[in-house]
Amino acid sequence: MRHILFLTAALLLPAPLLAQAAPAAIAAPAANADAELAAFFDAFDKAQLARSPQGQSYRGIKTDYDKWDDNSDAADVVAHEAGQKALAEMRARFATATLSPESRLSYRLFEKQMERRARGFQYRRNGYVFDQMNGAQSSYPAFLINIHRVTSKADAEAYVKRLERLGAALDQDIAESEARAAAGVLPPKWVFPYVISDARNTLKGKPFDAGPDDSPLLADLKAKVGKLDLAAAEKTALVAAAEAALLTSVKPAYERLITAMTAQERRAGTVDGVWRFKDGAAYYAANLAAYTTTNLSADQIHDLGLAQVARIQGEMLEIARKVGFKGDLKAFLARMRDDKSFVLPDGDTGKAEYLRRANAYLDELRPKLPQYFANLPKAPVVVKAVEPFREQSAGKAFYQSPAEDGSRPGTVYVNLYRMVDMPTIEIEPLIYHEGLPGHHLERANSTELKNVPAFRKFGGFTAYSEGWGLYTEKLAKEMGQYSDPYNDFGRLQLELHRAIRLVVDTGIHAKRWSVEQAIRYDIDNSAEPVGGIRKAMERYAVYPGQATAYMVGRLKILELRERARTALGDRFDIRDFHAVVLKTGAVPLDILEENVDAWIAGVKQG
């Protein structure tokens, strides 16, 4: 899993793109040049997929359906060299003046992504193989459960084969984590109990013990095989083969993982920030540039966060007055944190009610979408609770893109392990961000783009995607949602959460804060549940820089919208603005700015 994540991240590593103006007088773009460039990108994509069986599965391709990715550093080197070779070939073969504007954009994006990939390659072993956010210990089961579809006997046999091969794949990850630990790249000590817990949860249930329930993977395989049109004897044989693979491959591998993580935990330190790495400052600066697609320094991002915290808290105080609260903001924040009327009960009943409300808000908003968007995605979106085996370590909520072939819907996952950490006042903004009009509209739109290379359809830029998600939380208010002022406070609470991220992420990784210092800052400045705050700060500690992209991207989108509204006056159409933002798929923020400015100029001239 780590290898596919590296491949994806490598393609996604953004850079500020330099505008490349075409010569004043050039011949009409040659259709054959566009076709040749498209074929070049298609060949590059196929070569990447050939090295990534899991990448194929994400795309709905079943060519290597029984295999796992090669997660070795040697494989990462091969992928990197292939990217650099492709970059050199593209530059040698294609002149931008011969390309159409759309192809020229693809050229620019590929060129800058490969350049950024080259700059980031030196830091590839600074990431953690096992952590509570993206660790291999939970990603393998999650992949089989959520991505490996079973629509035939052959698919089920491939599932079993992946179980048989999971031991070798996990051993490769353990070896890589040991190599990184030897070089000084160890997660903080508090990470290891999460990893070990995930591993143990994977081994709970049949066939690993005599308990009444099946283990997560056996339950999944049984459910999928049960839906096949096969004879009972064939189904029994498939389940028996899976049980054997779980006992002979999966169980011993996870036991080896637990042993290795227990040993690493004894060696791990208590410092949280990546500044402790020998190249930590440069690594973090590279991450900030990659995630935000800007040249903002850690200090600038920190100061931006402080300013945004102050702004949002002012808006929160207005809501406090609206609901009749007489005290100061700090008292109101404390009241909102402690108010149990905003908390559903733990267990199945509370989870079901949470999912019911989330779907109800989506159903309420859907009819309003055509007033704000000219084009809507074809793929449906579903809302699911995070699976029990990984809910203790997984994040608050996240989105999984649909498959291009329509075989998998867009999926919003909400973590309902502790309902006190998922207050009802946050359901609206959370479901708008992850679902509609947020990530599902944006990511499904990218997946469904026509005549663009795969790296644009399936890649992304965090500042663009997460900036869009955060932008749509407020957009939903403009669409008439948040009729309950407390839900509107929940919207501001999540917006404040993203502003605080700017402060604490840079605090941990550049200013040498501990996670405990970051937690204290958040408690003092928000109404977030303490358990949710701790989980969030732990996320930022193992995912340096990523959390800064949300607010940076959102502010840029709002800045561009206001620029367009001011410049166009009565000619401004919100549907057209959104079409401009979404039409290219994910792009760096400066390219987004170019696109909006060009649209403004075109409307003025029209």
> Rounded CA gap, 479 and 463, in Å?
23
Q: Which residues share a beta bridge with 206?
A: 214
In the predicted model, is pLDDT for residue 20 greater than 50? no
Instruction: Name residues whose C-beta falls within 8 Å of residue 79's C-beta, 6 or more positions apart in sequence.
Output: 3, 6, 7, 10, 48, 51
276 falls within a domain:
no
Confidence of residue 31 (pLDDT cuts 50, 70, 90): confident
What is the DSSP annotation of 238-284?
A: HHHHHHHHIIIIIHHHHHHHHHHHHHHHHH--S--SGGGSTTHHHHH
- The reply to whether 564 and 546 lie within a common domain is no
Judgement on whether residues 142 and 56 belong to the same structural domain of the protein: no
Query: Which residues contact residue 205 at a Cβ distance below 8 angstroms, ignoring those fewer than 6 apart?
Result: 211, 213, 214, 215, 216, 218, 219
pLDDT band for 605, please (50, 70, 90 cuts): very high
Which of 127, 149, 165 finishes a domain?
127
Q: Is residue 534 part of a domain?
A: yes
Number of domains the chain is built from: 4
Answer yes or no: are the C-beta atoms of 15 and 116 closer than 8 Å: yes
Is residue 275 included in any domain, yes or no? no
In a domain? residue 494: yes
Q: What is the pLDDT of residues 244-295, one digit of tens each?
A: 999 999 999 999 999 999 999 999 999 999 999 999 999 999 999 999 999 9
pLDDT of res. 119: 86
The verdict on 250 and 360 lying in the same domain is: no
- Do residues 65 and 54 lie in contact, with contact meaning Cβ atoms separated by under 8 Å? no
* Helix ranges, 416-514 (H): 427-434, 439-447, 454-458, 462-478, 485-509
Of 106-120, 224-238, 547-561, the range with the lowest mean pLDDT is 106-120
Out of 269, 296, 327, pick the residue that ends a domain: 269
* Phi and psi, residue 100, nearest 5°: -70, 165
What whole-number distance in Å separates Cα of residue 178 and Cα of residue 199?
Answer: 17
Is residue 132 one of the residues assigned to a domain? no
Backbone CA torsion sign across 32, 33, 38, 40: positive
Report the pLDDT value the prediction gives residue 389, as an integer from 0 to 100. 87
Query: pTM for the whole thing?
Result: 0.92
pLDDT given for residue 408 in this prediction: 93
For residues 464 and 438, the answer to whether their CB atoms sit within 8 Å is: no
Please tell me whether residues 290 and 318 are part of one structural domain.
yes
DSSP letter string over 31-64?
A: HHHHHHHHHHHHHHHHHHHHT-HHHHHHTT--TT
In this structure, the answer to whether residues 465 and 504 fall within a common structural domain is yes
* pLDDT at position 270: 96
| Cβ pair 189, 448 in contact under 8 A | no
Under 8 Å between Cβ of 350 and 420: no
Of the residues 127, 157, 180, which one is the last residue of a structural domain? 127
Q: Do 265 and 362 have their domain in common?
A: no
Q: How many CB atoms lie within 10 A of CB 64?
A: 18
One domain for residues 298 and 203: no
Strands 381-385 and 397-400: unpaired
The sheet with strand 410-414 has its strands ordered as 381-385, 410-414, 397-400
Shared domain check, 491 and 507: yes
Please indicate, yes or no, whether residues 234 and 182 belong to a single structural domain of this protein: yes
Q: Is residue 434 part of a domain?
A: yes
Is there a single domain that holds both residue 548 and residue 568?
no
| 285-322 confidence digits (pLDDT tens) | 999 999 999 999 999 999 999 999 999 999 999 999 99
Q: Is 329 domain-assigned?
A: yes
The pLDDT assigned to 30 comes to: 61
**Host domain of residue 601:** 555-605
Same domain, 477 and 564: no
* pLDDT in the model for residue 115: 87
Position 415 in a domain: yes
Give the pLDDT of residue 29. Answer: 52
Query: 579 and 479 in one domain?
Result: no
Which pLDDT tens digit goes with each residue over 528-545? 999 999 999 999 999 999
